[in-house]
Chain A
């Protein structure tokens, strides 16, 4: 029932996931210092435990036994993953899963808005730029796109933060919503959520829309030179029809192929953008984990990040044949 191609893709994704986890595991277990010791001391200072107690505590936070050789630890770790145990956070003293449940929705919310807006608007503008070549629109868009493409998204975030949030107080300084409001499906809460998400979303969109514009423009220019567009004009089809059904549908295939990579890139960027805005998503907590050397949280969240990227890749792979019949399997 499932096509062979889909099956292959799924297997391939799982293999990639496995490889990524393994690499991370190896890296985190080849640390030149002993993290258990480091954290044990930390707890001694912070919470006043005895060193021995603290040491035992930290050992228990790992999803595998630390005395076992590497490959035994590895299997225990994989086993735990299958059971849904992502590990324990040393800095926050709670299971990673708890943190994930709280922060994952925010990141997904912001990223889906950001990707959708930048892709849709970007591709539309790109196509318009290609259609009306050598016009003012084309020049302006290329200029804008080149400039923003060069700027990393967290730098845009910093600028937005400084000017719109910190100095002129047009936007909030952080958080996902106004803490005085109760979460629920009321207007005030939703409004506050959108208000707080505006700048993060804007950071991604401002920076990345340029890339879509350039990509789509390039793709549309190629398509415009194709014989079938010329033939469509000769058939007397209206401009609007040619723009949508001929240029649009064909030109969008190229940017679409890069949608998954974009998602990966944005997830990576979320580590910094969310830090700038103190927005409590995965990126923010991951950055926290890294800067505080919280290896448990690091490992757990990284697994999540990779899974999200791989899943996004898979989804795009599966959508692509729907739009491009040349790639479909015959049936």
Chain B
């Protein structure tokens, strides 16, 4: 029992306290946590009513409709809350797939070296060079995307390359360090080396990149949906944005402004939170980068 308490305490000091102390990481964490809460319990607490109510079209924010109503008279706040679930789901799934692929490729390439390394890096470079947004658009247009899982897969396909390269670089530098040589001499076996020696050194780095990848995945999903290409969710913020901008002159008149700004600002806040958090954690791990604290 005491051991568990010790363990928790250690975890707190190692992981949470630094985040509390660093302004960026803390602020980012708060933002992410808010949206996370919105995504998980929001849809349970807040109902979603998508029936068209022509009489209440494009009403400005009020007590009854905190963010106003959209072109069809539906409450925007409800849509934002429900949409947050889709946004975060796609974002984290894509980041998860992408990170897994990147780790696998990076470790394989970095650890095995030689021809395998050259081949894998060649493939990685190809994926790195092809501009991600256009090719995602092509894929979304060709394969009708009907669920978040395949959509996330499409996105992840074009995001893993950067991280794979970095992972490989890290693995290579760690691989030649002395304690790996020691482990080899002690005949500790390849899986042990990978999991117990290499991975813990690379882990914080991977965590930072996961959050960044999530942010990029959200951008990509919004971008693809902005062109109306993956309309499987009615309330994803990307779709909301697309409808807001395309519905007759909404942007030109003062009445439609809230309809555009709601999803737009939500996206900006969420991504800002992710970036802050990632940068803050990076500062913790690498204190030289600190600016003005």
Contacts and interface: CB of A to CB of B under 8 A. Distances in A.
B180 interface: no
A291 B139 contact: no
Nearest to A310: B129
Interface string B173-191: 0000000000000000000
A32 B264 contact: no
Contacts of B140: 290
10 contacts: A27-B139, A28-B142, A30-B142, A139-B292, A149-B275, A150-B268, A158-B264, A221-B288, A306-B129, A310-B129
A129 B289 CA distance: 12
Is chain B's interface secondary structure helix, strand, loop, or mixed overall? helix
Given A268-B134, A271-B223, A302-B135, 14 more contacts: A12-B125, A16-B129, A27-B139, A133-B291, A134-B291, A142-B292, A146-B279, A155-B267, A161-B251, A162-B260, A264-B131, A271-B134, A291-B228, A293-B141
The 6 closest A-B pairs by CB, nearest first: A268-B133, A268-B131, A150-B275, A139-B292, A150-B272, A150-B271
Contacts of B271: 150-152
A154 B260 contact: no
Number of chain B interface residues as a range = 35 or more
Contacts of A155: 222, 264, 267-268
Contacts of B215: 150
Contact of A298 (B125, B138, B223): B138
A95 interface: no
A257 interface: no
Given A155-B264, A166-B251, A271 B292 contact: no
Contacts of A264: 129, 131
A290 B138 contact: yes
Interface string B215-242: 1000100110011110000000000010
Contacts of A24: 135, 138
Contacts of B292: 133-135, 138-139, 142
Contacts of B245: 158, 276
Nearest to A313: B129
A104 interface: no
Contacts of B128: 261
Interface in B91-125: 122, 125
Contact of A147 (B141, B144, B260, B272): B272
Query: Which residue among B138, B143, B241, B279 has the maximum number of chain A CB atoms within 10 Å of its CB?
Result: B138
Interface in B10-53: 24
Contact of B130 (A139, A161, A162, A306): A306
A298 B131 contact: no
A269 interface: yes
B80 interface: no
A287 interface: yes
A261 B162 CA distance: 10
